[in-house]
Amino acid sequence: MPFFPKLFKLIRWFLGEAVRRLGEEGYTQFIDFASGLPTVDHIHQVAPAGTKVIYTDIDPVTVAYGQELIKDNPNVRYGVCPAEEPENLLNSPLVEQLFGKNRKVAIGFNGVAYFIPDDKFQRSMKVLYEWAGKGSRLFLCDTGYEADIMKAAGRDMLALYQKLGQPLFLRSPKALEKLVQPWKVVAPGYQPLEQWVGVKSLETETRTQDFVMIGAILGK
């Protein structure tokens, strides 16, 4: 899939743009799921100085490397937690140790929703909503098919990930809007990631695959 690397870049760029906007709005506490390694342009490097960040990942090896990378930053933590079971983190001492009792947070859920079945994804969204304090935000991106998902690119992508033992769960924008409830969309709403980050040169290439990544910031 020659366009995969560009899509992965778009996801990271969207994350950075969302964090910058939320930082400008005064958000100083972030929780991130499926974080990967906290290297170039991740949350703690983009957010204003003093921002507190908790990264998570399902892979203990990734978490161990991540903990080594952020060990000298007192405002950053990294824990093991599957994105479909956020309560494992939320109910752990790690959150209160860093955030205290303040639950007004910004939550990142990027590059992972399409690996989670609808029922588990919907449950995860509700768990996060019920835990988060008033005024919290959730920024996420997911697939958004504008055509038959079994056309060329969609079919090939599904087959590839199925072969890798990691099936994809692809959704239309309308399906995504329903699954994230009761989170409410805030301006500018759901947009292709290219529009979020202002990279028009990638829009034609990704759209010719009958495929687009969409992102949004949601509120409680």
How many angstroms separate the Cα of 88 from the Cα of each of 28, 52, 82, 113, 167? 22, 19, 8, 17, 23
pLDDT of residue 167: 82
Q: Please give the full DSSP string across 90-154, using - where no structure is assigned.
A: HTSHHHHHHHTT----EEEEES-GGGS-HHHHHHHHHHHHHHSPTT-EEEEEEE--SS-TTSHHH
The amino acid occupying position 142 is D
DSSP for residue 36: -
Query: Max alpha carbon distance in the chain (Å)?
Result: 49
The confidence score (pLDDT) of residue 19 equals: 98
Please give the helix or strand (H or E) that residue 195 lies within, else none: helix 193-197
Q: How many residues does the chain have?
A: 220
Tens digit of pLDDT at every position of the chain (220 positions): 444 667 788 899 999 999 999 999 999 999 999 999 998 889 999 999 999 999 999 999 999 999 999 999 999 999 999 999 999 999 999 999 999 999 999 999 999 999 999 999 999 999 999 999 999 999 999 987 655 555 555 667 677 777 777 788 888 888 999 999 999 999 999 998 989 988 655 444 545 455 678 999 999 9
Per-residue model confidence (pLDDT) at position 153: 58
Domains of the chain (ranges, CATH numbers): 4-219 (3.40.50.150)
What is the distance, to the nearest Å, from the Cα of residue 150 to the centroid of all Cα atoms in its chain?
A: 25
pLDDT for res 166: 77
Describe the chain by its helix, strand, coil percentages, rounded to 5.
Answer: 45, 20, 40
Tell me, what's the pLDDT at 147? 52
Look at residue 211 in the predicted model and tell me its pLDDT. 63
**pLDDT value at position 209?**
52
Residue 2: its pLDDT value, please? Answer: 43
Cα–Cα dist 145/122, whole Å? 19
Q: What is the pLDDT of residue 60?
A: 98
SS3 161: helix
Q: What is the per-residue pLDDT for 5?
A: 66
Q: What is the pTM of this model?
A: 0.90
d(CA 10, CA 212): 11
Instruction: Report yes or no: 77 and 99 within 8 Å, Cβ to Cβ.
Output: no
Instruction: Give CA separation, 59 vs 64, 128, 201, 203, 218, in Å.
Output: 9, 21, 34, 32, 27
Handedness of CA 24, 26, 28, 31 (dihedral sign): negative
Predicted local confidence at residue 144, as pLDDT? 75
